[in-house]
Chain A
Amino acid sequence: MITIRGLQKKFRGKPALRGVDLDVPEGKVTAFLGPNGAGKTTTLQCAMGLLEPDAGHIEVMGARRLSPELWKRMGYVSENQCMPEWLTVPKLLDYVRPMYGKQWDRDFEKRLLRDLDLPQKTPLRSLSRGQRMKAALVSSLAYRPQLVVLDEPFTGLDALVRDEFLTSLLELTETEGWTVWISSHDIEEVERFADRVAILRDGMVHLQEEVTALQARFRQIELVTEEDLSAPLALPPDWVHLRVEGRAVRLVHGDYDEVRSKAVLLEHFSNPVHYEVRPMSLREIFVTLARSFRTTPQS
């Protein structure tokens, strides 16, 4: 659906994106993760044609430039958008509806309004942050777009509202089969429904992979021996975040194979009295990766 290669962008001479390569495949929910300031919004805005990149190649639904016809098939919601805050929700929808012509689904609009429980007579400026995001969502989904792009849609929402938002979004993506590209700095927000995850750090994508494949290869391993241990001098590249505490070793294995990986472990730490391998949640994988460049072996 979206293909990005070598995307670069500078602001005031400082590079924000240093060559981003990213794929957003059709029919899947792609979570775009990264800490604040990593360049997520910049990447999204360049892809949506809102910012002009300095270098790189972008294709969205097969097109290099977004036309009004393409925008009829896309929905975009961002916390940074300047909404016409003097309008009420119905007035906002009255304004955008004619732009989509017959593609706009009035029944679907009504259903969304009902499910999201939005006030009808209050101007947007008087709505809560969560309600404004919901209003933006309705205006961007009522015409059943093929691609939905959400830029930090949960920022500032309390847990209850976020849960409502997520639940609605999850139902819609499952029933409609949309392609969703959602950016967030918090993995917990998206792990419930993300099919694919891409992690952006310092202006580059360090990882993009299917969630199932990611969870299949990451394992948290705990090993206890009879004698005190010391960290090996040379670590296999798949070992991440190794910690040695007395006789216990804890590490994250980035490419775990039951036979091979165990053999390598036993080469370094022989005769373990306790050996435990457990799968990791997406959040745990994300946190581990985020720390991966800062963790040093401890004894």
Chain B
Amino acid sequence: MPFSPFTRLLAAAIVASYGFFLFWPNPRAHHWGAQALVLLPLLLLVLMVSAQRSWPVFEPRAFYRTRPVTDGFGMRRMLGLMAAVFGGVALWVMIYVFGHNFSGRAALEGILLLVLPALAWAWLWAVVACLATRRQRPLIWLILTLLAAPILSGAGLATMRGDLNLEMKGSFFITPASLLILAAVSILPAIWWLVASRRKWRTGLGLMMWFGALIPWIMVHGQFFPKKVSNGMTTEKFVEHIESIELHPPAGEWHEVPCSELLTIKGLQKGEFGMGGFLIGESKDSRWRATWTPKIGMRKEGEGYDWLEWPVIKGTGETAEWGGTELISDEIQNRWYPNEKLEPWTRRNREGVQAMFQKPRLHPWVTGQDGENEAERSDDPSQWDWKAYGTVTRLEKAGDVDLPRGGSLRLRTGGRLLVSIAEPTSLSNRLRLKYQFEDIHPFEDASSASLDRVAGLGIYAVVEHPDTGDKWFAVFRFVGRSPKTEGCPLFLGGVQEFEMICEGTPAEQAAQELRLRKGRLAVFVAVNQGSFPPTVVRR
């Protein structure tokens, strides 16, 4: 028998709502969905009560029980309803994961996150609705019975412990909330079957009370498998073919030093690029208290500091070459446009420009990770420990899009790039790119691995003129997390925004704008191959 129209409509609406929140174009849709989750238990309650009323499993008055079907028929219908609702949600998740080019693990995590808690609520309400419709006792008796168990158990636990501190100390793979959900999803279907059965409902009720009594204990003691905490830095695998890395901190008074003198790398292969940074601070127990963000830039020696861009280390097979994005441009030209010339998107005088490392300044408001007093530390970086770190990348072509239509490019390593033309502003026109990447941590180190995973992604482009076929090499600048989705960037992932702007003289900007309005865009990404082993020099 079909469920009542209201039951079916509500079930469909619940499934549809997941699709709405996952796929609605507004970047804040995921945030809305997270907020709307508080309504889900109520909706599931209504659904289960409605389903139970239109299909009372094992009830003497149930219509199907006087028809040539087995008693299990009713139970299978209810299970079918559950499967349809939560199977629909799982399907949405898989479509979402596929669309965003995330991994199977992300799909599994997404299903666990969206389905399991809702399933736990659904089973809970199924049990309650079944008990309530059996009409063996007044409803108020039932409610009091079900509430009494966890309340009394919690009171007893509080008496034994002195308090009911639910705060977790540390990070765990199995948290009280996840354990409770797993227990609910495992136990409640069996309880529902017992409650719905003709002769076993008292056993089911007793088991339900036992489960309720267990809840406070799970919330207080239910954390297992602690996660190890890393030093907050790289957790990527190391690139093993790096032969050596030498760090030569300057001695005495200094203002800036060429990067090539500061750091030498051997073993970086052709086609590989290194991108990294330096830490200056005090290391204790392998944990760095990074107090400065050293400035690295491309500038002319002897002139005022003009930070152009991040330096790049290019592998040559034996030594490494320091430079700027022109090294990237050369690589792209050699590999993908061997018979053509790539012009720079922005013409700048690069004569005499080299990669420089500027002595960091101590900001009075910066404190260490331990919150120590700045007055207790020396402000002379030469008295501190030095650390060089970084990632090794290789260029890959992500794909081509037509401008100004833009498009979506799926990355071989997962995630995707969304290219679009931003609305022109009074300042400049720009090409916007969003990098949507998978970001889940179910079984990984407690520290976020996204630092290296995301920071290592450089995005470059070759813009082709539609008529002449001329090509320009451009760099997408990282502008940070998407402001519109602050707080809830992307389900199972994160979003970072990059942009390519029109800059230069008005005539140059006009020419660039024309290319963005009509041209074709080839996008290249620097894919993280691993980290080179961090090198530490202690003073």
For B199, list chain A residues within 8 Å (CB): 52
The 8 A CB mask of B126-144 against A (1 = contact, 0 = none) is 0000000000100000000
Say whether A81 contacts B61, CB under 8 Å: yes
Say whether B68 contacts A95, CB under 8 Å: no
Given contacts A52-B198, A84-B4, A86-B4, contact A99 B61 (CB under 8 A): no
Say whether B69 contacts A68, CB under 8 Å: yes
Q: Judge whether B67 is part of the interface by a CB distance below 8 angstroms.
A: yes
Interface residues of B in 32-63 (CB under 8 A from A): 53-54, 56, 59-63
Of all A-B residue pairs in the complex, the 9 with the closest CB atoms, nearest first, are A50-B60, A68-B68, A76-B66, A71-B68, A72-B68, A82-B61, A52-B198, A45-B60, A99-B68
Say whether B56 contacts A96, CB under 8 Å: no
Q: Judge whether A80 is part of the interface by a CB distance below 8 angstroms.
A: yes
**6 pairs across A/B with beta carbons < 8 Å?**
A52-B199, A69-B68, A78-B66, A81-B63, A82-B53, A82-B54
Q: Judge whether B300 is part of the interface by a CB distance below 8 angstroms.
A: no
Q: Judge whether B28 is part of the interface by a CB distance below 8 angstroms.
A: no
Q: Judge whether A83 is part of the interface by a CB distance below 8 angstroms.
A: yes
Q: Judge whether B70 is part of the interface by a CB distance below 8 angstroms.
A: yes
Question: A interface, how many residues as a size bin?
Answer: 20 to 34
For A84, list chain B residues within 8 Å (CB): 1-2, 4, 54, 63
For A76, list chain B residues within 8 Å (CB): 66
Name the residue of chain A whose CB is nearest to the CB of B67: A99
For B61, list chain A residues within 8 Å (CB): 50, 78, 80-82
Q: Judge whether A51 is part of the interface by a CB distance below 8 angstroms.
A: yes
For A70, list chain B residues within 8 Å (CB): 68
Distance in Å: Cβ of B223 to nearest Cβ of chain A = 43
For A102, list chain B residues within 8 Å (CB): none
Assembled-state Cα–Cα distance A100/B66 (Å): 12
Name the residue of chain B whose CB is nearest to the CB of A101: B68
Q: Judge whether B65 is part of the interface by a CB distance below 8 angstroms.
A: yes
Distance in Å: Cβ of A235 to nearest Cβ of chain B = 43
For A71, list chain B residues within 8 Å (CB): 66-69
Say whether A50 contacts B65, CB under 8 Å: yes
For A14, list chain B residues within 8 Å (CB): none
Q: Judge whether A12 is part of the interface by a CB distance below 8 angstroms.
A: yes
For A51, list chain B residues within 8 Å (CB): 60, 198
Q: Judge whether A142 is part of the interface by a CB distance below 8 angstroms.
A: no
Not counting A71-B66, A81-B61, a sample of 16 additional A-B residue pairs whose C-beta atoms are within 8 angstroms of each other reads A12-B136, A45-B60, A49-B65, A52-B198, A68-B68, A68-B69, A71-B68, A71-B69, A72-B68, A80-B60, A82-B61, A86-B5, A95-B1, A99-B68, A99-B69, A100-B68
Name the residue of chain B whose CB is nearest to the CB of A80: B61
Q: Which of A48, A74, A82, A100 sits near B56, CB closer than 8 Å?
A: A82
Say whether A82 contacts B62, CB under 8 Å: yes
Interface residues of B in 136-187 (CB under 8 A from A): 136
Assembled-state Cα–Cα distance A281/B88 (Å): 64
Distance in Å: Cβ of A64 to nearest Cβ of chain B = 16
Given contacts A68-B68, A99-B69, contact A82 B63 (CB under 8 A): yes
Given contacts A12-B136, A51-B198, A52-B198, contact A83 B63 (CB under 8 A): yes
Assembled-state Cα–Cα distance A71/B73 (Å): 14
Say whether B59 contacts A82, CB under 8 Å: yes
Name the residue of chain A whose CB is nearest to the CB of B70: A68
Most chain B CB atoms below 10 A, which of A45, A50, A78:
A50
Say whether B68 contacts A48, CB under 8 Å: no
Name the residue of chain A whose CB is nearest to the CB of B59: A82
Assembled-state Cα–Cα distance A113/B517 (Å): 71
For B59, list chain A residues within 8 Å (CB): 82
Assembled-state Cα–Cα distance A95/B73 (Å): 14
Distance in Å: Cβ of B277 to nearest Cβ of chain A = 67
For B198, list chain A residues within 8 Å (CB): 51-52
Assembled-state Cα–Cα distance A56/B1 (Å): 33
Distance in Å: Cβ of A90 to nearest Cβ of chain B = 14
Most chain A CB atoms below 10 A, which of B4, B54, B68, B199:
B68
Distance in Å: Cβ of B6 to nearest Cβ of chain A = 8
Interface residues of A in 259-284 (CB under 8 A from B): none
Given contacts A52-B198, A95-B1, contact A81 B136 (CB under 8 A): no
Distance in Å: Cβ of B66 to nearest Cβ of chain A = 4
Assembled-state Cα–Cα distance A70/B5 (Å): 31
For B66, list chain A residues within 8 Å (CB): 48, 50, 71, 74, 76, 78, 81, 140
For A86, list chain B residues within 8 Å (CB): 4-5
Assembled-state Cα–Cα distance A70/B59 (Å): 19
Assembled-state Cα–Cα distance A82/B60 (Å): 9
Assembled-state Cα–Cα distance A48/B198 (Å): 14
The 8 A CB mask of A132-161 against B (1 = contact, 0 = none) is 000000001000000000000000000000
Name the residue of chain A whose CB is nearest to the CB of B54: A84
Name the residue of chain B whose CB is nearest to the CB of A149: B66
For B1, list chain A residues within 8 Å (CB): 84, 95
Most chain A CB atoms below 10 A, which of B53, B62, B67:
B67
Distance in Å: Cβ of B153 to nearest Cβ of chain A = 27
Name the residue of chain B whose CB is nearest to the CB of A11: B136
Assembled-state Cα–Cα distance A51/B197 (Å): 11
Distance in Å: Cβ of B68 to nearest Cβ of chain A = 4
Assembled-state Cα–Cα distance A12/B202 (Å): 12
The 8 A CB mask of A167-202 against B (1 = contact, 0 = none) is 000000000000000000000000000000000000
Assembled-state Cα–Cα distance A149/B54 (Å): 23
Name the residue of chain B whose CB is nearest to the CB of A82: B61
Name the residue of chain B whose CB is nearest to the CB of A96: B67
For A99, list chain B residues within 8 Å (CB): 67-69
Distance in Å: Cβ of A46 to nearest Cβ of chain B = 9
Assembled-state Cα–Cα distance A229/B198 (Å): 59
For B53, list chain A residues within 8 Å (CB): 82
Interface residues of A in 36-86 (CB under 8 A from B): 45, 48-52, 68-72, 74, 76, 78, 80-84, 86
Distance in Å: Cβ of A70 to nearest Cβ of chain B = 8
Distance in Å: Cβ of A94 to nearest Cβ of chain B = 11
Name the residue of chain A whose CB is nearest to the CB of B199: A52
Most chain B CB atoms below 10 A, which of A45, A82, A99:
A82
Assembled-state Cα–Cα distance A236/B69 (Å): 54
Distance in Å: Cβ of A101 to nearest Cβ of chain B = 9
Distance in Å: Cβ of A12 to nearest Cβ of chain B = 7
Name the residue of chain B whose CB is nearest to the CB of A49: B65
Distance in Å: Cβ of B5 to nearest Cβ of chain A = 5
Assembled-state Cα–Cα distance A119/B63 (Å): 21
Assembled-state Cα–Cα distance A168/B70 (Å): 31
For A83, list chain B residues within 8 Å (CB): 63
Assembled-state Cα–Cα distance A72/B199 (Å): 25
Assembled-state Cα–Cα distance A78/B69 (Å): 18
